[in-house]
């Protein structure tokens, strides 16, 4: 989709010029200057790993999905990491029609994350149904982090988030393998538009950009735009190398993955209904898949 009537420059240009957007539709065509304090990607070794799970037309509850995520993360442990996290779908006991994203993050190894997940399930078990079975499909993402921006900490761990400013509930989740070289001007721009940042990471600009784009749509546009289109607009503003997985409560039952420079694989366990696993990096990390698809260079899907 093109810019809305009247035209609108890209986020990077608006960040430099301080102009106010007129609608949620915008495109990216101009490059942004690199901030002097931005790291040089040529000398940074990024060791993060990402893993995603999506089931379709199968009976899987939330607790089983979490175990699949932890298994996927264990297959990424050889890369080295300082923290890890997961985000997965569930529902409240009193309202099983409301999608709720639970995010659990922890410094240290996967065993510590697993223990934190178990503790979260015990502490929130009266409120949240961790045995919920979603007919529309579970969407879940996970991450092992090797810190490049910000010290190892729970708040700097992935998934990075954008929340509803009213309820505080998670709307957008992103896990990232790579580095965003123009995160600083994007962060400055989004902060000037009222979005609040919690972490010191470069990654957090991505879910915040998703929220900025989505909040700029009117009701008619929200009814027409696809998850893939939202992600394509966001990715068009990013510079650097990355593999990304996105999930959102605005698009239940969907995951979107994309890459530029970093590897991203899709493993398909069963065609015509079943399970899909996405992983970065490497085919060895795709969990129990009997088919593997290499995503195209720069692909979004």
Instruction: Determine which one of 48, 173, 210, 258 is catalytic.
Output: 48
Instruction: Give the burial class of 47: count Cβ atoms within 10 A of its Cβ; 0-12 exposed, 13-18 middle, 19 or more buried.
Output: middle
Are 146 and 80 within 8 A, CB to CB? Answer: yes
* Tokens 């992103």 -> residue: 174
- In the three-class reduction of DSSP (H, G, I as helix; E, B as strand; rest coil), residue 86 is classed as strand
User: CA 106, CA 79: separation in Å to the nearest integer?
Assistant: 17
80's CB contacts (< 8 A; 6+ apart) are: 47, 146
173 is catalytic: no
Q: Which residues belong to the active site?
A: 48
């Amino acid at each position: 989709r093109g810019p809305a009537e009247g035209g609108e420059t890209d986020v990077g240009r608006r960040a430099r010029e301080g102009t106010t957007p007129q609608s949620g539709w915008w495109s990216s065509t101009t490059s942004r200057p690199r901030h002097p304090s931005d790291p040089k990607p040529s000398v940074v070794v990024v060791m993060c790993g990402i893993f995603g799970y999506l089931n379709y037309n199968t009976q899987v509850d939330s607790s089983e999905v979490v175990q699949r995520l932890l298994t996927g993360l264990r297959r990424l442990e050889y890369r080295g990491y300082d923290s890890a996290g997961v985000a997965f779908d569930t529902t409240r006991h009193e309202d099983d029609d409301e999608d709720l994203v639970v995010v659990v993050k922890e410094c240290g190894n996967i065993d510590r994350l697993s223990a934190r997940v178990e503790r979260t399930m015990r502490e929130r078990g009266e409120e949240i149904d961790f045995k919920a079975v979603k007919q529309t499909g579970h969407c879940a993402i996970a991450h092992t982090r090797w810190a490049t921006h910000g010290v190892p900490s729970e708040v700097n761990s992935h998934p990075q988030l954008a929340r509803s400013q009213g309820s505080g509930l998670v709307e957008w989740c992103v896990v990232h393998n790579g580095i965003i070289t123009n995160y600083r001007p994007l962060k400055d721009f989004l902060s000037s538009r009222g979005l609040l940042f919690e972490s010191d990471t470069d990654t957090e600009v991505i879910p915040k950009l998703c929220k900025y784009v989505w909040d700029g749509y009117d009701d008619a546009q929200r009814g027409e735009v696809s998850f893939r289109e939202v992600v394509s607009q966001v990715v068009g503003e990013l510079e650097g190398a990355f593999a990304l997985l996105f999930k959102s409560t605005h698009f239940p039952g969907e995951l979107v993955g994309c890459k530029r420079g970093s590897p991203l694989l899709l493993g398909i366990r069963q065609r015509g209904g079943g399970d899909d696993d996405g992983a970065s990096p490497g085919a060895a990390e795709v969990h129990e898949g009997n088919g593997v698809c290499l995503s195209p260079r720069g692909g979004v899907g």
